[in-house]
Amino acid sequence: MCGIVAVIGSREAAPLLLGGLKQLEYRGYDSAGLATVASRENADFGLMTCQRAKGKLANLAALVEKGGAEGFLGIGHTRWATHGKPEERNAHPHRDTASEIAVVQNGIIENYRSLKEELEAEGVVFNSETDTEVIPHLIARELKSLELESSVKTGAMLLSAVQKVSLQLTGAYAIAVIWSKTPEALVVARKQAPLLIGLGEGEFLCASDTPALAGFTRTILPMEDGEVALLTPLGIELYDAQGIRQQRSPTLLSGSDYVTDKRNFRHYMLKEIHEQPEIAELWVSRHLPEGLSVDTPVAFPFDNSFYQGIERVQILACGTSRHAALVGAYLLEQFSGIPTSVFYASEFRYAAPPLMPNTLTIGVTQSGETADTLAALLMEATRRTEHGDPAFASRQLGVTNRPESSLARQVPNILDIGAGMEVGVAATKTFLGQLFAFYGLALMFAARRKSRSQEEILNLTNELRAVPGQLRLLVKKHDQISEELAPHFANIQDVIFLGRGINYPIALEGALKLKEISYIHAEGYPAGEMKHGPIALLDPSVPVISIAMPGVVFDKVLSNAQEAKARDAQLIGIAPEGPDTKIFDSLLPLPKVSEWISPLFSVIPMQLLSYHIAAHRGLDVDQPRNLAKSVTVE
């Protein structure tokens, strides 16, 4: 994880670095740091200054404000701790023994232990527990031997040293390197971790992700895997992993909305929950406009060939995106009749099922940067190419909120969920966007395969069209109900979430939301599974939140809820009002919608309840401990 920025040009680097890091803080906020090298214009020409602070970026900004960070060349970092505790000594940048070389890194150097042992044997003393610190020491070693050949210090020397060191590193990483002896050279490199170069007027800003570049330039050059670049005020020299010079034209950053205004909400998460009706409306107007034929019920950017010949679907995702995928799998199987499997991307990478022909692989990731999902998709594409049989050819689709992300550069077909920038670490509106994407796919596949009648397709389409208006009322109502309910969770330690069928993934999502922002232990179960063990956990101190929507499993869910009630559990229902749902001690009422579209509604009270419980506890809702918005390490 972590976010890196690097700048070289003709303006003070520190403010640019801090601005970029602010946009990358979603990638980690355990510590932050920057290093600059004083330019010719400064009295201290060539002096490297390194400032680091534990905790959020604001701590670093306060340090920088006191002065010291001068120069037009600099690198910055915001950390999500992997190797070493979140302490200042483990904060980036890391430096060599002489403090002449500074490095920031995003990713993991897998062979750092053996490299560290080798360096220690040569007398190098390490100051941190990180994997990163080996890099400046290795570069220093390479530079030492290059300096024997020439006494002139050049950017080309730094480039060459980084190229040599890159060959010694294994793992997935992106790095930015500066050397106090070359105040007009910046070297950046990437291997299986994103890094983009933003091109300004006589200046460059490199960053892990596009939001950090948006205020600087819209002209970008995404680095390809294995590439190393030397940046000077005069231009870019780009090399591939074999050291061969590359020529590529920059591209324009697409018009994504990077506005991260909290409006009048207390937290981004609450604002994002309230944006969901708008997102639903936008999705419906874009993809379900009136006048589409029943054969093509959804306006998607794919032609016929995309849907043709697909016999099965496999979906790879993590976290909340995986829960959306589980709803998607239910829809694709039960509505459209396509066998569909969902995998944790992190498991799929090392235990993929045997290849089956005519399979569509869907990667779901709101950020488009999740390392496990990207690697699983790549692995799947590679093994299918190696198979050689056209029936096994790779057919991939990415569902994302970031159409300019690494996913979009890796996968040939993209569905943009169009939810707008999500700042809260807990995914809410992007989950809704992902669900809508799957409703669209289910309708399209059902229409193409004729697995549903025209009437059924039309009914689902019309139900989806009515969702935005219903959601508007629901969000408002549940914001208030949840706020009132939250104080009752003040001393709660464990919560059980139950759901069945299409709402089972919503029970999983409810538990994940509560865990990640309120730090209350929560489990989601298929309601029918409780009696096989977890029911032993129940007593009056464990609330059970049960989703009961009229449909194929309605009566079953109510029976399962009764079983919990018989063990004195406090029962909270997410269900429509009516005689059947009187069994609940409290009710979070939903409109009487069809079971097919019910997840679009049942998730709302889950999100709001988690939010209000965490806010009531005074927790950092938008940046919960130990988490990051985008998980770019394995």
d(CA 443, CA 429) in angstroms, rounded, equals: 21
Q: Is residue 197 at the binding interface for ligand M6R, with CB under 6 A as the rule?
A: no
Q: Is residue 17 at the binding interface for ligand M6R, with CB under 6 A as the rule?
A: no
Cis link prior to 93 (omega < 30° from 0)?
yes
- Work out how close the CB of 563 gets to ligand M6R at its nearest, in angstroms, rounded to a whole number: 30
**Residue from 106, 366, 560, 607 in contact with ligand M6R (CB under 6 A):** 366
For ligand M6R, the closer CB: 427 or 542:
427
Q: Is residue 373 at the binding interface for ligand M6R, with CB under 6 A as the rule?
A: yes
User: Rg of the Cα trace of the chain?
Assistant: 26
Cα four-point dihedral sign 148, 153, 158, 163: negative
Of 333, 340, 334, 331, nearest to 312 by C-alpha is 340
The SS3 of residue 595 is helix
Give the strand pairing for 494-499 and 395-400.
unpaired
For ligand M6R, the closer CB: 520 or 571:
520
Q: Is residue 518 at the binding interface for ligand M6R, with CB under 6 A as the rule?
A: no
- Work out how close the CB of 366 gets to ligand M6R at its nearest, in angstroms, rounded to a whole number: 4
Q: Is residue 410 at the binding interface for ligand M6R, with CB under 6 A as the rule?
A: no
d(CA 388, CA 121) in angstroms, rounded, equals: 48
Stretch that binds ligand M6R, among 141-149, 257-265, 298-306, 361-369 (CB under 6 A): 361-369
For ligand M6R, the closer CB: 177 or 508:
508
- Work out how close the CB of 419 gets to ligand M6R at its nearest, in angstroms, rounded to a whole number: 11
Q: Is residue 314 at the binding interface for ligand M6R, with CB under 6 A as the rule?
A: no
DSSP state of 330: H
Catalytic residue annotation = 2, 629
Give yes or no for a contact between 175 and 105, defined as CB atoms under 8 angstroms apart: yes
Binding characters for ligand M6R, 425-454, by CB under 6 A (x = yes) = xxx---------------------------
**Residue from 318, 547, 558, 608 in contact with ligand M6R (CB under 6 A):** 318
For ligand M6R, the closer CB: 319 or 599:
319
The SS3 of residue 149 is helix
- Work out how close the CB of 427 gets to ligand M6R at its nearest, in angstroms, rounded to a whole number: 4
For ligand M6R, the closer CB: 395 or 515:
515
Report the residue count for the chain. Answer: 634
The SS3 of residue 117 is helix
Structure tokens at 481: 């109900």
Q: Is residue 205 at the binding interface for ligand M6R, with CB under 6 A as the rule?
A: no
Q: Is residue 340 at the binding interface for ligand M6R, with CB under 6 A as the rule?
A: no
CB-based burial, 396-410: b 16+ in 10 Å, e otherwise = bbbbbbbbbbbbbbb
Give the strand pairing for 543-547 and 570-575.
parallel
Structure tokens at 158: 């730094």
Of 212, 260, 220, 208, nearest to 20 by C-alpha is 212
Q: Is residue 405 at the binding interface for ligand M6R, with CB under 6 A as the rule?
A: no
- Work out how close the CB of 387 gets to ligand M6R at its nearest, in angstroms, rounded to a whole number: 27
- Name the amino acid, one letter, at 634: E
**Residue from 367, 607, 623, 632 in contact with ligand M6R (CB under 6 A):** 367
Residues that bind ligand M6R (CB under 6 A): 318-321, 365-367, 370, 373, 425-427, 516, 627, 630-631
